Chains A and B, each alone.
Chain A
Amino acid sequence: MNTASELREELAQVFAELRAGQIKSSDAAELANLAGKMIASAKVQVEYAALRAVVPVIEFLKDDSEG
């Protein structure tokens, strides 16, 4: 998992499994917690780019369609 788009797909999968009762809430909560950490680090990168007043070039936040 290298990009936010892949993270989103992974989370969507977790959500579908959670709704279907295929994984326990506690497991989903752990995965959500981990995803939260990844998103938090991306937020820091966005904040840093904003502080420097530059357009952020963040690999993790690149759209998959950008290639």
Chain B
Amino acid sequence: MKTCRTCAVTMPADAYRGTRSMCRECENARSREWYAAQTVKPYQREDMKAYYREWYAANAESVKARAGEWTKAHPTERATVCRENMRRDRDRLGDRYVRRMLAQEIGVRSADIPQPLVEAQRELLKIKRYIREHSV
């Protein structure tokens, strides 16, 4: 048994990572707090984007193979996941949704839409949605 130095609760050793003095729950809460405080999320940083690209380039085949296997094993879930992702993206006006909307209107590929245009369009959509949702 060990007492967490943050929440001061005494817990068994498996409630801690290794020899740390902060319990898992407090560590997780601290991580969540840290993440929420980041205006630029780690996945948005250029160095991390480069890392992801590099990692994907090296592992694309295995990722695609695993995704393909999962799709075969879960044919209906796949459609549900796609729908859910699209719905979430639409609700939060994600980059992908706004890009796709602009790309369809202009008739170019999503990747060819400049980022500043995506961001301006997103703010515009926020205002339009708000007015539509709050108009009597």
Binding site for A on B (CB under 8 A): 102, 105-108, 112-117, 119-124, 126-128, 130-131, 134-135
Contacts and interface: CB of A to CB of B under 8 A. Distances in A.
Interface residues of A, number: 30
A50 B124 contact: no
Contacts, number: 80
B125 to A, nearest CB: 9
Contacts of A43: 102, 105-106, 117
Nearest to A43: B106
A9 B21 CA distance: 44
| B107, B121, B131: residue with the most chain A Cβ atoms closer than 10 Å | B121
A46 B119 contact: no
A58 B114 contact: yes
B117 A19 contact: no
21 contacts: A4-B116, A4-B117, A4-B119, A5-B116, A5-B119, A11-B120, A11-B123, A15-B126, A18-B130, A18-B131, A19-B130, A28-B130, A32-B124, A32-B128, A38-B120, A39-B124, A42-B117, A46-B106, A46-B114, A46-B117, A58-B114
